[in-house]
Amino acid sequence: MSDRRIVTAAATDVGRRRSGNEDSFAVWSAARAGGTHPADHLLVVCDGMGGTVAGEVASRMAIEAVVRTFESSAAADPGAALSDAVHAANDAIWDHAQERPDLKGMGTTCTAIAIRGEQVTIAHVGDSRAYLVRGREITQLTQDHSLVAQLVARHELTAEQAKHDSRRNVVTRSVGVGAEVDVDVVTLHEPLAPGDTLLVCSDGLHGPVDDDQLARAAAGGPLEQAAGELIRLANERGGPDNITAVLARLESSHADSWAPQEAPSRHRAAGRAAPAAAPVPQGGGRQKALRMLIIALVALLIALTGLTWVVFGMMRAAPDPEPRDNAGVATWP
């Protein structure tokens, strides 16, 4: 039986400048659902747009459609199941908006992570994000579908300027705004290692809080505590938008025996992260010390034996002592 398990936690907050929360999230487990599914765990974050009412409706509908479609999927491949689920969400929101003139133009971001064993697959639309925190390093696993991200890619803005640009909330791809949607689906090359933490969040978190702070909060302490700390950090920096954080961590009862892992590259980057060093077998140090002690004792025994033969040879080569009488006076013939 495996000694590893996935633990999860989530938190959402309206922030300090919004009157309503347009974010929605879901944490789904195959163990609770029963039956056979494409993955063991599913994490989803959706950030709605189109006005308070429409945004809330869009994000909620997306969450429900993604979970429902993924749970009932017959696909063996998590990537295919995720893609189908996001497309189903797009169809549901688009069709609903056509029937409700007051909701036309509504849409949502959608970032979903499927975990099967220690393998991670991501489906992504919009500017919510998925991260992997490994040790003290954080890796962004998704690429923002936003205007400022395009401007940064074209070197028309720096990453720092993009954080404060007035166009930073303009997304270039979303779920439900059009009849069709293009979904990014990526699979990590490297499996999860014990202690790895996955973070899925809306831009209300990754906007005001920089990556280093995200890494420290996500990796520090129990996940429930980490989720609360992430919300606190975003609000401490003004809470300009709704804030949502969903986390998952691979835990192991023998995590201390594993060598530290290097942060992996994204699926689109070539190559793999360097493999972890092999763990040192338990008791290896004691066995080595015992061997050294035996060698030292054998060497000492050989040295004593050689010395004994040298002394014995010297004694045989020496002249006999002068004869003495009982009075102890030397006599000669």
DSSP per position, 285-327: HHHHHHHHHHHHHHHHHHHHHHHHHHHHHHHHHSPPPPPB-TT
CA atoms of 268 and 281, how far apart (whole Å)? 36
From the list 187, 189, 215, 221, the residue with the least C-alpha distance to 201 is 215
**Least confident among 20-34, 81-95, 159-173:** 159-173
Give the pair of three-digit tokens for residue 61.
Answer: 């509908």
pTM of the model: 0.76
pLDDT-based confidence at residue 164 (cuts at 50, 70, 90)? confident
Question: Taking phi first (over 0 means left), then psi (-120 to 50 degrees means alpha), and beta for anything else, what does residue 17 get?
Answer: alpha
Q: Write down the pLDDT at residue 234.
A: 98
- pLDDT above 60 for 267: no
Per the CB < 8 A criterion, the answer to whether 9 and 219 are in contact is: no
Q: Is 48 exposed, middle or buried (0-12, 13-18, 19+ CB in 10 A)?
A: buried
Query: Span 163-192, mean pLDDT?
Result: 94
Instruction: Please state whether beta strands 23-29 and 4-13 pair in parallel, antiparallel, or not at all (unpaired).
Output: unpaired
pLDDT-based confidence at residue 306 (cuts at 50, 70, 90)? low
Q: Where are the domains of the chain?
A: 4-257, 284-318
CA atoms of 65 and 125, how far apart (whole Å)? 15
Q: Write down the pLDDT at residue 333.
A: 30
Q: Write down the pLDDT at residue 50.
A: 86
Strand ranges inside 147-240, DSSP E: 184-187, 197-201
In single-letter form, the type of residue at position 75 comes to A
Length of the chain: 333
pLDDT-based confidence at residue 292 (cuts at 50, 70, 90)? low
- pLDDT above 60 for 5: yes
Which class would CATH give 4-257? Answer: alpha beta
CA atoms of 195 and 223, how far apart (whole Å)? 11
Query: Span 321-330, mean pLDDT?
Result: 35
Q: Write down the pLDDT at residue 295.
A: 60
- pLDDT above 60 for 138: yes
Please write the tens of the pLDDT for every residue from 231-251: 999 999 999 999 999 999 999
Higher pLDDT, 286 or 96: 96
Dmax (CA) of the chain? 145
Eight-state DSSP code of residue 191: P
Q: How much is the mean pLDDT over the chain? A: 83
Instruction: Please state whether beta strands 110-116 and 129-134 pair in parallel, antiparallel, or not at all (unpaired).
Output: unpaired
Query: Span 160-189, mean pLDDT?
Result: 93
